[in-house]
Chains A and B, each alone.
Chain A
Amino acid sequence: MSERALRAVAAAVLGVDDARARVVAARAVRLAGAFPRPVAAGLRAAAVTVNAAAYARTGTGLAALTPDRREAVCAAVTALPGGAQLLDALKTVLLLAASDTAVAAMPRQARADRLPARPDRLPARPDPLPARPDPPLTCITAAEWPARTSADVVVVGSGAGGAVAAREFARAGARVVVVEEGRRFTVDEFRRLPPADRFVSLYRDGGATLALGRPPVLLPQGRGVGGTTLVNSGTCYRTPTRVLRRWRDAYGVPVADPAHFDRLLDEVEALLAVAPQPTDVLGRNGALALAGARRLGWRAAPLRRNAPGCAGSCQCAVGCPRNAKNGVHLNALPQACAAGAVIVTGARVRRLLVTGGRAAGVRFGEHEILAPLVVVAAGAVETPRLLRRSGLGGHPQLGRNLAVHPAVSVAGRFAEPVVSWSGVLQSVGIEELHDDGVLIEATAGPPGLVSFVPPGYGRTLRAQLDGADRLATLGAMVADVPGGRVGARTVRYRLAPTDADRLREAIVAMGRVLLAAGADEVLTGIEARPYARTADELAAAAASAAPADLHLAAFHPGGTARMGADPARAPVDPAGRLRGVHGVLVVDASALPTCPEVNPQLSIMALALAVSRAAA
């Protein structure tokens, strides 16, 4: 992305002066280096388009215009078909870039007093609280790993599923090698590096994995030793019994029998030290959510999390700076390494080696590891791609049935400071609508690093950012009708009409909670009607939003190699074995038969535990 083209756009979109725009643009260009080429090209095209619009409208470039005229250009672009999405994409990247510069389009002096935990200050003012030391892990980079090795079991991916499988096989006495595309991150890096830098290195594609569709959805996936558990919110829901019954009865997965699966969940909870989040560090964001729900008479409580020592740093999404959140890099993987497993980092598996209908190992770069058993845990997007690249994509359902949790977020503006980024990132669950598949979670964070995008451009946006410390944010995710498909290079996702309805319902519900908690107004996230002061206005705003107008993020992809007894419907059998080949197990979210309707870490780990324990 050209920094020069972006500079003027940054000034126009964020409403900052040229000096600050230069810094933000430089930072955005650097961050975009981690994005996939099509995304980076799209952003470049968007910047060029906005500049072109300025020429078309005024006869001169965006850089030469006054702030008023820049905003007029932005408004004109928004009016174009697709223009709003184009500017939104630019705004998201620029907010991320601005999140850890000292120019985050906010008031100068007052903000310094009001934003105690601003992430851009972290490098200069390290967290005074001590961090839990990193446990020992046997990590070897791919460059140092011999080109030819053999093992008893190769585990592809070190996330929730892969870590558990590695531990189980290593404890059973097998020589286990875990092959991880990302690198190892240490708590020291989490304390030392700015959040945006961590963001682009901790997430696949710099966090810009995009599921194509109307609307396109961001699909963030962690990449590092520990996988997405490095960057998730730490929320640990047990798999609902109704979901387990569905898996057992409709998909023929005996291990999902609630009586049996509950014991596995107990074991995983003990491993992760899952407990309800103490209220002392919830933060104002969580407290307001609890208060709003209480006034409405809705079920709400602090979430069960795997972060027993959480101090409310609100940086779960970019790596906990205190190692308080028990990602699998702090428990299952160290236990696997203690039992002899080795983790090869920076190793993207190109293909599985197959000989005579049987798995023979993996290849990454010029390296090969031979093993009679390959456990695939590369995530719901990468697992089907890897299997296809390996010539194992023959099952017609492989890569289909991608289920995600499409999510929307809204914010409420309060008279008093909330400072939502001071406290637990995801603190409170409101389960009033969970039976309808809608789960509301109080999720907050600094501007640019959360999925809520403030409305407007230029001075309007700047005003919003000025008052960001008074915003409380809620997010809601919906158990969707699986509508995605993973291709060789792209992910496509079609939002089902019923899911769009539930998302609108979720917007209204969240707005009601915020208003009940005392919010002056609700920022709906809907471009056409960004503000609502009453429940009726909320309902009207939500009703007016077409699916393409929703600001969607998508989390928890799964189901792309689903497990089931029916060979025609399920690429993976109930024992976790990939059909059509011997010696391949699938133990990640892709093997989940359906959407688990909750944050899926426990479900994935329990399923991986069952599969690998049976096979070990």
Chain B
Amino acid sequence: MRTAFREVMTGDVRLAGEPAARAMRLELRAELPGLLHPWMAATAEVTGHVHVAGSGDDPAAPDWADDPAATGILEIAPLRARRIRYRLSFTTADGRRLHLDGWKSIRLGRPVRTMTRLPATVLDDSGRVVGEARLRFALTRQLLPMAVSVRTRTDPPPTAADLLRPRWRGRPGRLEVWYATITEPRTGTGLWLHHELVAPGDGAAPYAHGWTGVFPAGAAPVLARFGPVPWRAPDGPEVYRAGEVTVSADRLRGSAGDLSWDLRRCGGGAPLYTFPRWAWRHDVLPAAQIVPLPAATFTGTLRYGQTVVELARAPGNIARIDGHGNAARWAWLHADLGGGDVCEVVAAVAARPWLSRLPALPMVRLRVGGVDLPGGDPLLGAARLRADLDLPHWTVTGRLGGARLRIDVIQPADRTLAVEYVNPDGSPVVCHNTERAHARIVVERRTGGQWRTWRSWTLDGTAHAEVGRRE
């Protein structure tokens, strides 16, 4: 059993050497083992947003800190230790890493006051006091949102291996995909391993097939298909098998035409839910995509033709799609931003007649410092974004929580493979895919009355992208 909740506290922080305090706001998401109750003594993992305003004298001054990727822990023992301790690390606007350490000291004679006041000290890496914060949980404004935010979950969060397991339970008209995209950094070679399980809508026997694309630097991409073979549920650690092509959480191996590969996976980070978690779990959307291993590295050998590429901790990912089939139109981007940070985009127009008239709905997850943005539901977040899907240049623009986002993707034609898909209903779709795309991602925040760049990334030939459409 796990409990998750959100808490917002506001107040001020007096920085050392400054005469006036600055406004401060903490928005926290906590997840702890067990149920939330007064007798507990547990440590919760906390992520959240730390905001400290600019100088009070100058309204146009930029924020002193505005970090949506704060992380830390929350020690909750309101009766057993009479203390609820908050320890958070965050980054200021000028890049300093700071640590907030404070606790509510519960006194049974003054429960409301002591449960709602959080004095805290802000320290730097050396332990020097940078400031003193006094935060308050506003009962009238924040108690209801906090109570509503409480969620309990009886199962532990699924692991990457859990998420990679096949979900097909015999329903016709289903499509499941395991795909991995990798960039070999030394040679700049991109690799795309696409594994499909297709359960045709006419009730025919399900089959497994797929293809492999290699995108060498300075040469035309190479495509090779494998299968189809009848689907057999894999056993052991494998999650997919199509002849000699296998997928497991730790290994990808197989051959297709004159292509062969044998790669071992290492790392990967926490699963990234590009589509909402509920959509993946309850299968209520026409299709959903998630990335069980968004920031993995791969080591092994890739052979195509006479070329042998040795991969050594090459960055890549393994993603999953499950649904009724391919969208009417879609675009996808996987950008490895380094250090475990990832940007994943799926912008799609559903193939259902009554949904196909809608504009493309961009689902964006930007993982920075272990925090996934936007903080809320990706589907709701998609409503504030807009995608212009074209080739070779497509974009996603709009709001990402309180920030402004622009993503530009360029898929050069000479680096792009056009691959024909077949939906479970038999309709064809063409996917234009490259693992050597260019991408530019810019996140801006509004400080001092104007938009300023908060973070930006440029990927020169290392972004993985595709655009699919019915042609």
Binding site for B on A (CB under 8 A): 146-150, 175, 353, 355-356, 360, 363, 366, 368, 370
Interface of A is mostly: strand
Task: Give CA–CA (A175, B102) in the complex, Å.
Answer: 18
Q: Which of the residues A148, A353, A366 comes within 8 Å of B102, measured between beta carbons?
A: A148
Q: Is the CB of B81 within 8 A of A366?
A: no
CB distance from A151 to the nearest CB of B (A): 10
CB-CB under 8 A from B134, the residues of chain A are 147
Q: Which residue of A lies closest to B134 (CB)?
A: A147
B282 within 8 A of A: no
Q: Which residues of A contact B132 (CB under 8 A)?
A: 146-147
Contact at A148–B81, with CB atoms within 8 Å?
Answer: no
B129 pairs with A146, CB closer than 8 A:
yes
A368 surroundings in chain B (CB, below 8 A): 103, 105
Please list the residues of chain B having a beta carbon within 8 angstroms of any beta carbon in chain A: 77, 80-83, 101-103, 105, 119-121, 127, 129, 132, 134
Please, how many angstroms separate the alpha-carbon atoms of A175 and B123 in the complex? 15
**Majority SS at the chain B contact face:** strand
Residues of A within 8 A of B127 (CB): 175
Q: List 19 extra interface pairs beyond A147-B120, A355-B82, A368-B103, CB under 8 A.
A: A146-B121, A146-B129, A146-B132, A147-B102, A147-B119, A147-B132, A148-B101, A148-B102, A148-B103, A148-B119, A148-B120, A148-B121, A149-B101, A149-B121, A175-B127, A356-B81, A360-B81, A366-B119, A368-B105
Q: Which 5 A-B pairs have the closest CB atoms?
A: A147-B119, A355-B81, A146-B121, A148-B102, A146-B132
In the complex, are the beta carbons of A355 and B80 less than 8 A apart?
yes
Q: Closest residue to A368 on the B side, CB-wise? A: B105
A366 to B105, CA, bound (A): 9
**Residue from A147, A149, A363, A366 having most chain B Cβ neighbours under 10 A:** A147
5 contacts between A and B (CB under 8 A): A146-B129, A147-B102, A147-B121, A147-B132, A360-B81
Cα separation A146 to B81 with both chains bound (whole Å)? 21
Contacts of B80 in A (CB 8 A): 355-356
Closest chain B CB from A146 CB (angstroms): 4
Contact between chains at A355 and B83 (CB < 8 Å): yes
B101 and A150 within 8 A (CB): yes
Given the interface pairs A146-B129, A149-B121, the reply to whether A363 lies near B105 with Cβ below 8 Å is yes
Q: Within the assembled complex, what's the spacing in Å between the Cα atoms of A366 and B121? A: 14
Q: In the complex, A149 Cα to B119 Cα: how many Å?
A: 10
CA separation between A48 and B358, bound complex, in Å? 95
In Å, the complex CA distance between A602 and B456 comes to: 66
CA distance A146 to B13 in the complex (A): 11
A363 to B83, CA, bound (A): 12
**Alpha-carbon distance between A22 and B132 when the two chains are bound, in angstroms:** 49
Q: Which residues of B contact A360 (CB under 8 A)?
A: 81, 83
Residues of B within 8 Å of A147, CB to CB, are 102, 119-121, 132, 134
> Which A residues are CB-close (under 8 A) to B81?
355-356, 360
Residues on the A chain within 8 Å of B105, using CB = 363, 368
Query: Given the complex, which residues of B lie within 8 Å of A370, measured CB to CB?
Result: 103
Instruction: Please name all residues of chain A whose beta carbon is closer than 8 Å to the beta carbon of B101 when the two chains form the complex.
Output: 148-150
Q: Chain B nearest CB: distance from A241 CB in Å?
A: 45
Docked complex Cα distance between A353 and B121 (Å): 19
With A147-B132, A148-B101, A175-B127: A355-B120 Cβ-Cβ less than 8 Å: no
Task: State in angstroms the CA–CA spacing of A366 and B120 once bound together.
Answer: 12
Query: A146 to chain B: which residues have CB within 8 Å?
Result: 119, 121, 129, 132
Taken together as a complex, chains A and B put the C-alpha atoms of A360 and B101 apart, in Å, by 15
Q: How far is the CA of A148 from the CA of B120 in the complex (A)?
A: 6
A363 to B, closest residue via Cβ: B105
A419 CB to closest chain B CB (Å) equals 52
Considering the complex, give the chain A residue whose CB is closest to the CB of B104: A148
Q: How far is B83's CA from A370's CA once the two chains are assembled, in angstroms?
A: 11
Q: Give the chain A neighbours of B119 by CB distance below 8 A.
A: 146-148, 366
Give chain B nearest CB distance to A479 CB in angstroms: 44
Most chain B CB inside 10 Å of its own CB: which residue of A146, A355, A356, A368: A146
Q: Tell me, rounded to whole Å, the shortest Cβ–Cβ distance linking B56 to chain A.
A: 20
Of A149, A353, A360, A366, most B-chain CB atoms within 10 Å: A149
| Assembled-state Cα–Cα distance A527/B129 (Å) | 60
The residues of A that contact B121 with a CB separation of less than 8 Å are 146-149
Give the complex CA separation of A366 and B134 in angstroms.
12
Which of A148, A149, A366 is most buried by chain B, counting CB atoms within 10 A of its CB?
Answer: A148
Question: Cα distance A353–B83 when bound, in Å?
Answer: 10
CA gap between A366 and B80 in the complex, in Å: 20
Residue ID in chain B nearest A367 by CB atoms:
B119
- Kindly name the residue among B80, B105, B119 whose own CB sees the greatest number of chain A CB atoms within 10 A: B105
Determine the distance from Cα of A150 to Cα of B127 in the docked complex, in whole angstroms: 10
Q: How far is the CB of B135 from chain A (nearest CB, A)?
A: 11
A368 to B121, CA, bound (A): 11
- In chain A, what residue has the closest Cβ to B86? A148
* Bound-state Cα–Cα, A150 to B123, Å: 11
A358's nearest neighbour on chain B, judged by CB, is B81
Query: Chain A nearest CB: distance from B80 CB in Å?
Result: 7
Contacts of A149 in B (CB 8 A): 101, 121, 129
Task: State the CA gap A363–B102 with chains docked (Å).
Answer: 14
CA distance A363 to B121 in the complex (A): 16
Nearest chain A CB to B286 CB, angstrom units = 51
**Closest residue on chain B to residue A366 by CB atoms:** B119
Contacts of B77 in A (CB 8 A): 355
Cα-based distance from A360 to B82 in the complex (angstroms): 11
Cα A148 to Cα B131 in complex, Å, equals 11
Q: Closest CB-CB distance, B462 to chain A, in whole Å?
A: 44
For residue B287, give the distance in angstroms from its CB to the closest CB of chain A: 49
| Chain B contacts for A363, CB-based, 8 A | 105
- Shortest distance between the CB of A149 and any CB in chain B (Å): 6
Shortest CB distance B11–A (Å): 12
List residues of chain B with CB within 8 A of the CB of A353: 83
Instruction: State the Cβ distance, B76 to closest chain A Cβ, in Å.
Output: 13
- A residues less than 8 Å from B129 (CB atoms): 146, 149
CA A146 – CA B132 in complex, angstroms? 6
Residues of A within 8 A of B102 (CB): 147-148
What is the CA–CA distance of A286 and B80 in the complex, to the nearest angstrom? 60
A147 to B129, CA, bound (A): 12
Chain A residues within 8 Å of B103, by CB: 148, 368, 370
Q: Tell me the nearest residue of chain B to A354, going by C-beta.
A: B81
**How distant is B78 from chain A, measured CB to nearest CB, in Å?**
12
Cα A363 to Cα B114 with chains together (Å): 14
**Complex: A356 Cα to B75 Cα, angstroms:** 14
Chain B residue at minimal CB-CB distance from A150: B101
Q: How far is the CA of A610 from the CA of B81 in the complex (A)?
A: 32
- Whole-angstrom CA separation of A175 from B127 in the bound complex: 10
Question: Could you tell me the distance between the alpha carbons of A363 and B103 in the complex, rounded to whole angstroms?
Answer: 13
CB distance from B112 to the nearest CB of A (A): 16
Q: A349 → chain B, closest Cβ, in Å? A: 14
Instruction: Give the complex CA separation of A383 and B132 in angstroms.
Output: 30
CA A355 – CA B41 in complex, angstroms? 11
Q: Contacts of A356 on B, CB cut-off 8 Å?
A: 80-81
- Chain B residues within 8 Å of A366, by CB: 119
Give A175 to B129 CA distance when docked, in angstroms.
14
C-alpha spacing A353/B80, complex, angstroms: 12
Min distance, Cβ B432 to any Cβ of chain A, angstroms: 57
- Bound Cα distance A370, B134 (Å): 18
Alpha-carbon gap, A356 to B101, bound state (A):
21
Q: For B85, give the chain A residue with the smallest CB separation.
A: A370
Among residues of B, the one whose C-beta sits closest to the C-beta of A175 is B127
Task: Tell me, in angstroms, the Cα distance from A81 to B129 when the chains sit together.
Answer: 61
Q: How far is the CA of A370 from the CA of B103 in the complex (A)?
A: 10
A366 to B104, CA, bound (A): 11
In the complex, how many angstroms separate the beta carbon of B203 from the nearest chain A beta carbon? Answer: 63
A58–B295 alpha-carbon span in the complex (Å): 101
Which B residues are in CB contact (< 8 Å) with A148? 101-103, 119-121
How far apart are the CA atoms of A147 and B118 in the complex, in Å? 10
Looking at the assembled complex, report how far the CB atom of B9 sits from the nearest CB atom of chain A, in whole angstroms. 14
Specify the chain B residue showing the minimal Cβ separation from A355.
B81
CB distance from B413 to the nearest CB of A (A): 60
| A147, closest chain B residue (CB) | B119
In angstroms, how far is the closest chain B Cβ from the Cβ of A144? 10
- Cα(A368)–Cα(B127), bound, Å: 17
